[in-house]
């Protein structure tokens, strides 16, 4: 299953969510690859640090790819259960091409005018992508909620999102928590892997777990169907190979009687 963490707005938390989503899946024993399609390389730096500093933690495979990433994604999807794609800000070829083949677009939004005013743009882009890839499930969720954001402000943000049919606002939210900014969680440790000593750690961990659950809830069956289609694709390749051989053999037989006839004609 391919999950693209996308938004035109920079700094809304794509990389943070991408790496923590991947860590949560890895912790659940899932085979996950993080595809970093952003030249800023935030996600791959996080993964590199993880390899060195948290070698005892479950492995997260990672890779950098830029430009149109349809083909690499299709190939990688055959080898991993989950691919999390971190794309650059803006309207990038990486984001657009990932949407051509993904199952889920997960969009973090901050509760502020600059973030939320990009909903119509993202809605438009998802709509266009669905013409080629109708299976896209598009989810928006609120990230970096501040403790002083009122219920009214949170509801209003959810209301704005829900005015765009085709983008589903998630119930899961993530609060603004300093632990993402410094220390282990900025350097390769998922918040789900925290010892959970402080209230902040426990809350952050639960938020990510809920986000992962809610995002995957309606999409789990896709892994099975991806496997099914990959299987078919593989057997089609084998079939094509067999067909090739069959027609080579048939060609030799076709030549054989012609030669004979030629031979007879000559004698
Ligand atoms: N829930 C959160 N709480 C606190 N800080 C966050 C949260 N999500 C992201 N951040 C911080 O916001 C900044 C931008 O996040 P980042 O994931 O790099 O965004 P993007 O990839 O969209 O540009 C980073 O410093 C990151 O640590
Ligand atoms: Mg980023």
Q: What's the gap in Å between 186 CA and the centre of ligand 2?
A: 12
Phi, psi at 102, each rounded to 5°: -80, 165
Tens digits of pLDDT across the chain (267 residues):
999 999 999 999 999 999 999 999 999 999 999 999 999 999 999 999 999 999 999 999 999 999 999 999 999 999 999 999 999 999 999 999 999 999 999 999 999 999 999 999 999 999 999 999 999 999 999 999 999 999 999 999 999 999 998 999 999 999 999 999 999 999 999 999 987 889 999 999 999 999 999 999 977 655 555 555 555 555 555 555 555 555 554 454 444 444 444 445 443
Q: Which of 180, 184, 194, 206 to mutate to test the pocket of ligand 1 (most atoms within 8 A of CB)?
A: 180
Which ligand lies nearest to the CA atom of residue 14 in the structure? Answer: 1
Q: Outline where the chain has alpha helix (H).
A: 14-27, 42-53, 70-77, 93-101, 113-116, 119-132, 151-162, 199-217, 221-266
Q: What's the gap in Å between 68 CA and the centre of ligand 2?
A: 18
Q: What's the gap in Å between 12 CA and the centre of ligand 1?
A: 6
C-alpha span between 102 and 129 (Å, rounded): 10
Q: Is the CB of 2 under 6 A from ligand 1?
A: no
Given the CA of residue 204, which atom of ligand 1 is nearest to it?
A: 1
Nearest-CA residue for ligand 1 atom 9 is 13
C-alpha span between 140 and 189 (Å, rounded): 24
Q: Is the CB of 111 under 6 A from ligand 1?
A: no
Output the pTM of the full model: 0.85
Nearest-CA residue for ligand 1 atom 20 is 11
């Amino acid at each position: 299953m391919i999950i693209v963490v996308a938004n035109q707005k920079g700094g809304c938390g794509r990389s943070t969510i991408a790496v923590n989503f991947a860590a949560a899946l890895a912790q659940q024993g899932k085979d996950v690859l993080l595809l970093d399609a952003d030249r800023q390389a935030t996600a791959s730096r996080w993964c590199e640090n993880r390899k060195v500093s948290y070698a005892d933690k479950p492995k997260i495979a990672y890779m950098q790819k830029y430009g149109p990433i349809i083909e690499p994604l299709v190939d990688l999807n055959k080898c991993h259960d989950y691919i999390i794609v971190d794309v650059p800000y803006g309207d990038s070829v990486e984001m657009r091409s990932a949407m051509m083949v993904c199952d889920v677009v997960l969009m973090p939004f901050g509760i502020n005018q600059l973030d939320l005013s990009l909903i119509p743009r993202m809605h438009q882009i998802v709509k266009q992508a669905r013409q080629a890839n109708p299976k896209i499930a598009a989810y928006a969720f609120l990230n970096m909620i501040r403790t002083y954001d009122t219920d009214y402000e949170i509801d209003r943000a959810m209301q704005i999102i829900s005015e765009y049919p085709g983008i589903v606002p998630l119930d899961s939210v993530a609060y603004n928590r300093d632990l993402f900014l410094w220390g282990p969680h900025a350097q390769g440790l998922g918040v789900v892997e925290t010892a959970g000593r402080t209230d902040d750690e426990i809350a952050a961990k639960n938020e990510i777990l809920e986000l992962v659950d809610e995002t995957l809830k309606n999409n789990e069956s896709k892994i099975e169907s991806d496997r099914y289609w990959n299987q078919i694709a593989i057997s089609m390749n084998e079939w094509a190979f067999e067909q090739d051989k069959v027609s080579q053999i048939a060609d030799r037989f076709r030549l054989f009687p012609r030669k004979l006839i030629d031979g007879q004609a000559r004698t």
